[in-house]
Amino acid sequence: MAPSVLVAGATGNTGRSVVQTLSAMLATSDVLLNHRIIALTRSLNSPAAQQLATLPGVDVVEKNWVDITPAWLREHEVVRAFIAPHNKPNQFAEESTFHVAALQAGVQYVVRISTTAANVSPSSTAYYPRSHWAIESLLSSPEFTNLHWTSLQPNGFSAFFLAPAAAFIQEYRKTGKQGTLKLLASEDAPVAVIDADEVGIFAAHLLSQPNISVHNGAKYVLNGPEDITGKQIVNLVEQYIGVPVENVSYKDMSDLDAYLEAAYMGDGQSRNVIWSIKHAPETTWEGKCTASTTSKEVLEIAPPQSTPAQVLQRLLQY
């Protein structure tokens, strides 16, 4: 069996582009020579999993990453790994178990997805950035010296950020009528949202680096190439529909409210914890998540290219 690079969450927002980019690198990278890529998925029958299975050097495996053990990692000769953890309240318990397994199995390097850099703090009001801070602190401890790691702190994903604008345009094209344009963005605060695929591309480049020690313990901030405000999103929408937008709701989290009610209404759920997620966008509204905060290593290795206007155009083509 060949040494392998593990991609946990291979069919997720960032995982797909990690697998695609690594597969394309196999033929030219000395580091990845004779390696295979293990793409984990919870369903081999999903369209995304089936597409990844066609790529050179990729083995798609049906397994939940939270069930990975040191023995499994050794059996599959995993030497480097990527993980995009969930953001549920038990994230720390499950992700830390993964890293302990990686340490015990002798994995050389892990690249993980964190969250918006301005939120990663032990005093974050939203619960899940505290979990990311705790994971980074755990990996920074002396006990994890033998496991090299890099934490990526991407800004909000542009497809999610712009989805309401795309839906508004599509509805207007169908009916000629306007509802309310509900935007997560504030009216005037600039924010550099990023294409999730470009986060995965950067992660793949890190996993193929010949010298991982220079990236060990690094926390890289990733943003899109340019800032946009809520008012500028409205301008983009008006360019598509050809008339002024009549009603705009900025800092709108009504869709998130509906999702939280549907997903976390059951017994045993801590509403106080779960609902704290609504504080996460506050740093963007305060102007703390601009393109100027991007780490120089990101710009040197694989700089993001997709602008908000380009992402909106792609959303409208689906």
Q: How far apart are CA 220 and CA 215, in angstroms?
A: 9
Is residue 4 within a helix (H) or strand (E), and if so which, with residue range? Answer: strand 4-8
**pLDDT at residue 255, rounded to an integer:** 83
Residues 37-81: pLDDT tens digits? 999 999 999 999 999 999 999 999 999 999 999 999 999 999 999
pLDDT in tens, the chain (318 residues): 689 999 999 999 999 999 999 999 998 988 888 899 999 999 999 999 999 999 999 999 999 999 999 999 999 999 999 999 999 999 999 999 999 999 999 999 999 999 999 999 999 999 999 999 999 999 999 999 999 999 999 999 999 999 999 999 999 999 999 999 999 999 999 999 999 999 999 999 999 999 999 999 999 999 999 999 999 999 999 999 999 999 999 999 988 877 777 777 666 778 889 889 999 999 999 999 999 999 999 999 999 999 999 999 999 997
**pLDDT at residue 265, rounded to an integer:** 66
Q: How far apart are CA 303 and CA 293, in angstroms?
A: 13
DSSP 8-state class, residue 93: H
Report DSSP letters for 70-93, one per residue: HHHHHHTTEEEEEE----STTHHH
Task: Decide: residue 240, CB within 10 A, 0-12 exposed, 13-18 middle, 19+ buried.
Answer: middle
- Residue 198, φ and ψ in degrees, nearest 5: -75, -25
SS3 of residue 41 by DSSP: strand
Q: How far apart are CA 115 and CA 132, in angstroms?
A: 7
Domains and CATH numbers, the chain: 4-155+196-222 (3.40.50.720), 158-192+225-290+306-317 (3.90.25)
Residues 9-47: pLDDT tens digits? 999 999 999 999 999 999 898 888 889 999 999 999 999
DSSP 8-state class, residue 243: S
Name the amino acid, one letter, at 43.
Answer: S
pTM above 0.85, yes or no: yes
